[in-house]
Amino acid sequence: MQIGIPDDAGPLVATTPSTVSRLTALGYDVVVTAGAGDAAGLRDDAYREAGALVTSDPDVAWESDVVVCTAVPDDVAERLRPGATLIAQLAPAARPERTAALAGRGVTALALDAVPRISRAQSLDVLSALSNVAGYRAVVEAAAEYSGMFGGQVTAAGSTRPATVFVIGAGVAGLAALGAATSLGARVRAFDVRPEVAEQIESMGAEFVSEPAAQQQVSADGYAAPLTEEQLAAALALYTREAAAADVVITTALVRGTAPTTLTAEAVAAMRPGSVIVDLAAPGGGNCELTVPGERVVTPNGVVVLGYTDLPARMPRHTSELYGTAVANLLTLLTPGKDGELTLDLDDIVQRGMTVARDGDVLWPPPPVQVSAAPSAAPASSGTDGTDAAAAAVVAQEEGRRRPAWLGKALAVAGAVLAGLAVAASPADTAGHFVVLALAVVVGFYVISNVTHALHTPLMSQTNAVSGIILVGALLQIGSSSLLVTVLATIAATVASINIFGGFLVTRRMLRMFRRADEDDDGGGRRAGARGAGGGAGAAASGTAAGGGAR
């Protein structure tokens, strides 16, 4: 089958030379329209070297079996041949007429902006990748507009204070903005209506602004529920107060394409002259009442409001690379035989969720997918629904397997008694070793349990070093004349070896998530997708109401 990459008449391109190599390795023929990657610094010769056919005729790409693009023209259905497959951001909820036109043409349409929010689909999540770029670029735009430096400076002539940046929302875009602003030396504060993201914010070096009256727990579908009137009033008061003290405000609240108001005109009027607002929700209308989508506005009191809607496109090289990688990951999923034949499996929830049209039928919206990490409520058996009855039986079975509440306490007491008897029956020097061991366990527990999640990877490296010391000590004791010592040393060496090698394997796998496909160790060009653009925070959050982060 032939994959066509048209010239989208913009700075972005749907694939790069490195991802073309992955597509050809799957058995596809790739056709790239001449000049499609020029704005991203990707020349035609690079595509040719990667195995693509570069053509000056734009119709060749549109007439391919599979067409991948970043910008969808209004007449896309007429450009495609019947039976073709289109992969792009299709906005099926906002543009139902386009989906109907594609279905009427007999086109199979896969929407990259409809990827289910589950872990297995992270490597296909174009929206998260673009939100990451937008959050980073928002800080770049703010730094260019701000009349001072983000980081405080100390000179012989005096010192300057760092800029104060306030970020509304800690989704993918918000966390990316936090990381960029912190790296520039700014004093960064952030708020989100979901209190569980406080740790993610703090792991990025920012300060979480706590306001219990404006916060809520995550809802069952992974998004924050709409705010009550009391919560909304408390949130708006918080935004007004923080914006008045900030030099830069970045808003990221975008709820399923709709932007709730987080900064009122009165809040902007209270800000200092020269302050900057970057509204990342401008594509949905804007979080600020004074935002004009696509425009730069200066208010009467001298506040600059940036409502740019093309922030990812302002960094075309890396945005195209991320977009192309997601496309290559998707086609890898759709080509299990690596024979150049696209095979769509609608029984797969990922593929079904993205498929909005097929065989003349509109398949949007897809069946709901339960993605919340929150525990589900036990279903009530109505006696008439077989599914409910089966679920209730499973719940009952699981409850039957649970240990009684007293059993854990009884085992702990029994273990303590046995340990005490063992110490009492041991020689005096052995009792001292038991005391050291007990203190080490207690201290180690409290130290490790208080380490933030962002530091678990370096902590694992420390435990590998400790396990190495244990392994060396165990090897020295294996040759002991005492059978008991030899047995214990063998067990210690085995356990320490498992910990060491397992730690290295986990670290290797994590590092591979952040490597380019052409740097992958196995040479197969596969790359595990990493969400979350918020650095180590692993932001899996999407847009939430009135202060939730944009996806």
* Residues designated catalytic: 117, 122, 125, 128, 223
Q: Which residues pair with 3 in a beta bridge?
A: 30, 66
**Rounded to a whole number, what is the largest CA-CA distance in the chain?**
89
Quick one: which H or E segment has residue 209?
Answer: none
Quick one: which H or E segment has residue 249?
Answer: strand 248-251
Strands 2-5 and 29-33, by their bridges, are parallel
How far, in Å, CA of 281 to CA of 543, rounded?
A: 10
Closest CA to 282 of 297, 298, 293: 293
How far, in Å, CA of 191 to CA of 167, rounded?
A: 7
Closest CA to 123 of 505, 532, 543: 532
Asked whether 178 and 170 are in contact (CB, 8 A), the reply is yes
How far, in Å, CA of 448 to CA of 403, rounded?
A: 27
Burial class (CB in 10 A: 0-12, 13-18, 19+), 381: middle
CA angle 57, 59, 64 (to 5 degrees): 115
Which segments within 13-60 are labelled E, that is strand? 29-33, 53-55
Which two tokens mark 462? 């420390």
DSSP state of 257: T
Rg (CA), the chain: 28
What is the DSSP annotation of 168-208?
E--SHHHHHHHHHHHHTT-EEEEE-S-GGGHHHHHHTT-EE
